[in-house]
Structure 1
Amino acid sequence: MDGALARASAAVWADGHVLAHAAAEGARGQAVALPPMVADVLRRAGLLATELDAVAAVVGPGGFTGLRAALALAQGLALAAGKPAIGVTTGEALAAALPDAVRGSHPVWSVTDTRRGRVLLERLVPGAWAAEAMPQAFTLDAVPHPEEPTLLVGDAAEAVAAASPGHGFILMGLALPDAAAVAAVAARRLSGAVRMLPALPLYVEPPAVRLPSSELPHA
């Protein structure tokens, strides 16, 4: 499942393909949309949550509320089923949605808008299912230039490409992750083909959340 950005989505994956899928666009409301969506795809796939081999969710980068809602639901289902909860990054999910032949011959860079004046950059080498390292934060004008033609995905892709014209970025028109691609990465993690990642929130920068004044720490 995914609630990281401006979409909520859920999918059931088995034997290399999606059995059921649902999605709803919107920058808010993932916490409300995901539980019935997950119930719906399980029903259409003819499965109980306890019959799953694993549960996967996007861990970030993304919005605080949507990430936490998806991860809490994933962890709860996994605990009830006694099965692993697997994490997939936003960049990994976006890269997995690209055609194999295309991403197999080019690096993939995923850029997520923090809405705080920066973008978070994830890099995958050609053909990789896992990101090279933790996402890095850059201001728009400081995003590095690739050394070779590079596929650019994510909700900040158009802004990054516009800020660096002629520097080898290839816009793929793919802005938001989707649960079907999340499942493709998670299945490889479950099989051991890709290193495991826990279903825990991935914060590159502190969440933009203020504590009430009564809860602020005292010097």
Structure 2
Amino acid sequence: MKLLVLDGALARCSAAAFVDGVLVAEEVAEGARRQPVDLPPMAQRVARALAGLDAVAVVVGPGGFTGLRAAIALAEGLALGAGARLVGVTTGEALAAALPEELRAGRAVWSVVDTRRGRLVLERLAPGAWQAEAPPEPMAVEDLPLPEGPVAMVGDAAEAAAEALLARGADALLTEARLPLAAAAGRVALERLAGHIPMRDATPLYVEPPAVRRPA
């Protein structure tokens, strides 16, 4: 199985290549809104580690409109050109997969992404789970529900969310997983391709519409 994975959901972009479940190449570039420029050549370089292509995976959000569209459009084109399967991975799933397995086994994972409009988007995974429990939920930080048990906080709004939950007495552990990585997203994609969890397509999860205005 030759798998190429792309991510541009938040303030970085990355690409990774797997052969039979083993990571063989990876590139990462930091910075917001650079995905349309950085991701295509990065994917081309990483794909050189693959002799052929069986599947393409892409992080589908929640995240920024520009980064998601750039990554998904590129993944769709590469999959179509190679006759490969296309697999979607959510931002929360990718972030959770980057955590140590022993941590995930004992805590639910809450992924919290900043909408840049004074709100956040919450995505929840049960302890040890590879896939999100339900669609992402937009809300204000003060409206975060109290978790039923210990949680590990991930995402670019994790610090504010963890602080709010801790102030209310929750067992909320702030982790270093703030931005997704293609290498971690690939672990989720491999679980989907193996049939261990349900498949997901590459439909973007914007949650809220892009902040654009019609011209006057």
| TM-score, with structure 1 as normaliser | 0.92
Q: Which residue of 1 aligns with 2:195?
A: 192
Alignment partner of 1:9 out of 6, 10, 14: 14
User: Which runs of 5 or more residues in structure 2 are unaligned?
Assistant: 1-5
| TM-score, with structure 2 as normaliser | 0.94
Q: Which residue of 2 aligns with 1:25?
A: 30
Pair 1:63-2:64 in alignment = yes
Q: Which residue of 2 aligns with 1:34?
A: 39
Q: Secondary structure at the match of 1:205?
A: coil
Q: Which residue of 2 aligns with 1:78?
A: 79
Letter in 1 for 2:179: L
CA shift for structure 1 position 14:
1.9
In structure 1, how many angstroms separate the alpha carbons of the residues matched to 2:59 and 2:214?
25
Give % identity.
Answer: 61
Q: Which residue of 2 aligns with 1:140?
A: 141
In structure 1, how many angstroms separate the alpha carbons of the residues matched to 2:134 and 2:59?
16
Q: Which residue of 2 aligns with 1:210?
A: 213
**Does the 8 Å contact 1:145/1:168 carry over to 2?**
no
Q: Secondary structure at the match of 2:180?
A: coil
Q: Which residue of 1 aligns with 2:3?
A: none
Q: Secondary structure at the match of 2:60?
A: strand
User: Which runs of 5 or more residues in structure 1 are unaligned?
Assistant: 214-219
In structure 2, how many angstroms separate the alpha carbons of the residues matched to 1:8 and 1:154?
15
The alignment of Structure 1 onto Structure 2 pairs a total of residues equal to: 209
- The root-mean-square deviation of aligned C-alpha atoms, in Å, is 1.0
In structure 2, how many angstroms separate the alpha carbons of the residues matched to 1:79 and 1:206?
27
In structure 1, how many angstroms separate the alpha carbons of the residues matched to 2:68 and 2:204?
7
Q: Which residue of 2 aligns with 1:216?
A: none
In structure 1, how many angstroms separate the alpha carbons of the residues matched to 2:127 and 2:141?
24
1:12-71 CA-to-partner distances (Å, cap 9, x unmatched) read 01222210000000012101100100111112x1x25xx111101110000000000000
1:163-204 CA-to-partner distances (Å, cap 9, x unmatched) read 232311111121000000111111111111111100121121
